[in-house]
């Protein structure tokens, strides 16, 4: 949690005072500390050992303010000579506050990179002691942040089609001409399809992202690619686009066939959507010399501007919102692909030139040859 243990304090004279404030108080009434572990405990070895394996820092101060126990994680803070010095200062502050009154809790954020955040809670114990718990809340705050962004994005995404539904319904209610009514009803149905596609993709993304059990198996990629392409046969035919699958040798990976088919079909779907009528899409799976399998989907479509390449895998990011709306895109397809690649210990990359086309490649660890035989 708190990274490597720092060297003993005192090596940096600037920090000697702050360290001494805590250190000078140690070793009062507790067992003799083991080397490098000031503040060993009278709690008994098993309990001490248990506290030492915790990621949480736990420190106890006596009524006179001396730190009489610190588990391993708390000791890292007490010994700090780097950015954690600020955490130690806060710890000392909280000890005073808790000794004077009730429990106190404070969060401190250390600006990075990487930024980290700790939450410190000081609680009075009898008689006159204070326990401070130090928790690394960096990940929890990151997840909260992502969740908040996600909810804001979804609300924003849903607002447009739901607003359109309302307007269309109002107009339809006032309409008497059967032809206009049919047209409005058709547009209403189109918006419903859009909302439902977004909800389907969100459900798919949350299944993949928030840990629905993967069904891991030995997967032959040829039927997976064939299925993914088959799903989109009518979309391709509708735009007179040829989709060729080229796999010259059997290629196997360890993974979830359903997820892999979903990733490939998202890429093929995009290749079809962003290609001109009559275009050509090529799907290949090859074994690389680096024991990786590369599944590539290449098109000769509109391509992606270089400035957008870093962002297209973000949820709801579209290069051209109007075009994505036209093609019925949800902005979630590539996030799904990226999550699936990560779930399989792989990654997805893109090479693209505006006006020339794009190639998306999913790299996956190949199964060792001895596990390949069928
Ligand atoms: P969408 O549902 O909008 O297609 P994606 O997450 O699948 O969302 O893709 C994000 C954006 O990346 C798309 O809106 C599009 O601008 C761009 N994009 C994805 N694939 C291609 C492609 N093969 N050719 C050109 N642009 C693409």
Residue 34 near residue 40, CB atoms below 8 Å: yes
CATH 1.10.287.130 intervals, the chain: 140-213
The closest-lying atom of ligand 1 relative to the alpha carbon of residue 313 is: 6
The closest-lying atom of ligand 1 relative to the alpha carbon of residue 302 is: 25
Task: Tell me the three state secondary structure of residue 188.
Answer: helix
CATH 3.30.450.20 intervals, the chain: 13-136
CA 211–ligand 1 middle distance (angstroms): 25
HEC states along 251-315?
A: CEEEECHHHHHHHHHHHHHHHHHCCCCCCEEEEEEEECCCCEEEEEEEECCCCCCHHHCCCCCCC
Per-residue pLDDT tens digits for 327-367: 778 899 999 999 999 999 999 999 999 999 999 999 999 88
Instruction: Decide if domain 13-136 falls under CATH 1.25.40.80.
Output: no
Mean residue pLDDT of the chain comes to 84
Q: Which of 204, 314, 334, 341 to mutate to test the pocket of ligand 1 (most atoms within 8 A of CB)?
A: 334
pTM above 0.85? no
- Identify the residue whose C-alpha is closest to ligand 1 atom 2: 329
pLDDT confidence of residue 261: 95
Instruction: Decide if domain 140-213 falls under CATH 1.10.287.130.
Output: yes
pLDDT confidence of residue 42: 53
Per-residue pLDDT tens digits for 31-56: 334 434 444 445 568 888 899 999 99
Instruction: Decide if domain 215-374 falls under CATH 3.30.565.10.
Output: yes
Report whether pLDDT(202) > 50.
yes
pLDDT confidence of residue 33: 42
Q: Which of 304, 340, 350 to mutate to test the pocket of ligand 1 (most atoms within 8 A of CB)?
A: 304
pLDDT confidence of residue 37: 47
CA 283–ligand 1 middle distance (angstroms): 17
CATH 3.30.565.10 intervals, the chain: 215-374
- Identify the residue whose C-alpha is closest to ligand 1 atom 4: 329
CA 270–ligand 1 middle distance (angstroms): 6
CA 4–ligand 1 middle distance (angstroms): 42
Among candidates 5, 23, 2, 19, which has minimal Cα distance to 135?
2
- Polymer length in residues for the chain: 374
The answer, yes or no, to whether the previous bond of 113 is cis (omega within 30 of 0) is: yes
- Cβ < 6 Å from ligand 1: which residues? 270-271, 274, 299, 301-304, 312, 317-320, 324, 329-334, 358
Q: CA end-to-end span of the chain, whole Å?
A: 44
Report whether pLDDT(268) > 50.
yes
């Amino acid at each position: 949690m708190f990274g490597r243990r720092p060297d003993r304090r005192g090596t940096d004279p600037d920090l000697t005072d702050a360290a001494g404030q805590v250190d000078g108080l140690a070793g009062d009434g507790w067992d003799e500390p083991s080397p490098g572990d000031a503040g060993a405990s009278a709690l008994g070895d098993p309990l001490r050992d248990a506290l030492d394996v915790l990621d949480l820092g736990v420190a106890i101060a006596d009524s006179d303010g001396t730190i009489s126990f610190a588990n391993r994680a708390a000791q890292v803070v007490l010994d700090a000579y780097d950015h954690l010095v600020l955490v130690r200062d806060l710890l000392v502050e909280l000890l005073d506050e808790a000794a004077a009154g009730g429990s106190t809790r404070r969060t401190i954020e250390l600006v990075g990179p990487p930024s980290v955040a700790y939450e410190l809670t000081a609680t009075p114990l009898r008689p006159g002691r204070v326990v401070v718990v130090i928790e690394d809340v960096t990940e929890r705050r990151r997840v909260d942040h992502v969740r908040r962004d996600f909810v804001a994005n979804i609300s924003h995404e849903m607002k447009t089609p739901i607003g359109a539904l309302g307007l269309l319904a109002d107009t339809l209610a006032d309409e008497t001409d059967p032809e206009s009514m049919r047209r409005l009803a058709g547009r209403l149905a189109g918006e419903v399809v859009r909302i439902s596609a977004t909800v389907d993709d969100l459900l798919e993304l949350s299944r993949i992202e928030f840990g629905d059990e993967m069904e891991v198996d030995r997967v032959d990629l040829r039927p997976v690619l064939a299925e993914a392409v088959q799903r989109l046969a009518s979309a391709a035919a509708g735009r007179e686009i040829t989709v060729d699958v080229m796999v010259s040798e059997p290629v196997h990976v360890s993974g979830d066939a359903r997820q892999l088919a979903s990733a490939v079909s998202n890429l093929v779907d995009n290749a079809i959507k962003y290609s001109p009528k009559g275009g050509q899409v090529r799907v290949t799976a090859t074994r690389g010399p680096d024991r990786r399998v590369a599944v590539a989907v290449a098109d000769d479509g509109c391509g992606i501007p270089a400035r957008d390449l870093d962002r297209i895998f973000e949820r709801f990011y579209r290069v051209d919102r109007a075009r994505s709306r036209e093609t019925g895109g949800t902005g979630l397809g590539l996030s799904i692909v990226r999550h699936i690649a990560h779930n399989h210990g792989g990654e997805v990359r893109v090479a693209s030139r505006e006006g020339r086309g794009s190639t998306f490649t999913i790299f996956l660890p190949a199964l060792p040859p001895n596990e390949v035989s069928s």
